[in-house]
Homo-oligomer: A and B are copies of this chain.
Amino acid sequence: MPGVPPTHFVFLGPEATFTEQALLTLPAAARGTRTAARSVPEALDAVRAGEADAALVPMENSIGGAVGVTLDELIDGAPLMITREVVIPVEFVIGARGPVAFEQIRTVAAHPQASAQCRGWLRAHLPEATVVDVLSNSAAAIAAAEGEYDAAICAPIGADRYRLALLAEKISDHPDAVTRFILVSRPSAPPAATGDDVTSFAVFISHDRVGALLAVLMELAVRGVNLTRIESRPTGERLGRYAFFLDCTGHVSDDRLGEALQGLRRICADVRFLGSYPRHRAVEGDQPIPAPARLSDVDYADAAAWLARVRAGDLS
């Protein structure tokens, strides 16, 4: 129901990973109920089925790129709508059951992506330790807490939840790495424009038509729509057929974006609207991206007024 904040939340589990940490930054989620799902499809299906009001799932990571399963789930099945984005730093920590010297650590549990991102730190500080692959950051924390391995690389929330002693913080080789999560609900009118919004949608094009992607970008460029992200995904039919996910600056209620979306709707095999929502501000004082010269809202309004006069025969 538009205007009613969600109270039942589902998130990509297991518990005590970066996704739960991101969810807790939302006041409504901190107050509401939070259920871990075993997979992105499970999380989104819980929303589709009405068992949850909203799902928080990862969309994109500055190191690993797009989260394919999230993209695929957004364009398969009943439509959903992104109402919010949350971007948090990926700050890995290393913890153990209790204080322990680095020399005494022989085994480190870690999700393969976590250990890959901390390779430099491991080489420098634990060159002799064996890194054991586990299935999640949270599983790593649990394994260390239970003494199965000497230490674990995990999210800060994981160390905290399973009461690990922190051996080191911010051990990633990429200190500025972030993950972008999206909050997904059943379709309703998008949140009102704030003046600094993002609009997400997917277009389906046939690569048999040379120039199809060029035509998509021209629809945006001609209206001065600023593209901030584009991802291609196979449609599962066969290699060479793609859906493209686009993030643009602006809100679906803007003239500029509305006109561009209509253009895409006309020329693409299909367009799936995925939401308009406030842009995450990376840093204090981060400014909205301005419209290109001559393509501001004022220019759109002026042109519409001019056309109305022309159609009425007023050329003054």
Contacts and interface: CB of A to CB of B under 8 A. Distances in A.
Copies of this subunit: 4
A239 B60 contact: yes
Given A65-B68, A238-B176, A294 B311 contact: no
Interface stretch (A94-102, A151-159, A224-232): A224-232
Interface in A208-241: 210-211, 213-214, 217-219, 221-224, 226-234, 236-240
Given A79-B316, A214-B221, A178 B239 contact: yes
Interface string A262-279: 110111000011000000
A28 interface: no
Interface residues of A, number: 84
A159 to B, nearest CB: 23
Nearest to A249: B210
A166 interface: no
Main secondary structure of the interface of A (DSSP, over half): mixed
Interface in A287-316: 292, 294-295, 299-300, 302-304, 306-307, 310-316
A187 B313 contact: yes
Nearest to A220: B214
Contacts of A242: 229-230
Nearest to A259: B259
A133 interface: yes
A29 B255 CA distance: 45
A189 to B, nearest CB: 4
A307 B262 contact: yes
Contacts of A312: 189
Interface string A2-33: 10000000000000000000000000000000
Contact of A214 (B66, B210, B217, B311): B217
A34 interface: no
Nearest to A230: B232
Contacts of A300: 262, 266
Contact of A265 (B60, B176, B265, B306): B306
A28 to B, nearest CB: 19
A211, A295, A310 pick with most chain B CB within 10 angstroms: A310
Given A176-B238, A313-B190, A214 B218 contact: yes
Given A217-B217, A223-B263, 8 more contacts: A63-B234, A207-B227, A207-B228, A214-B214, A231-B232, A263-B303, A265-B303, A266-B294
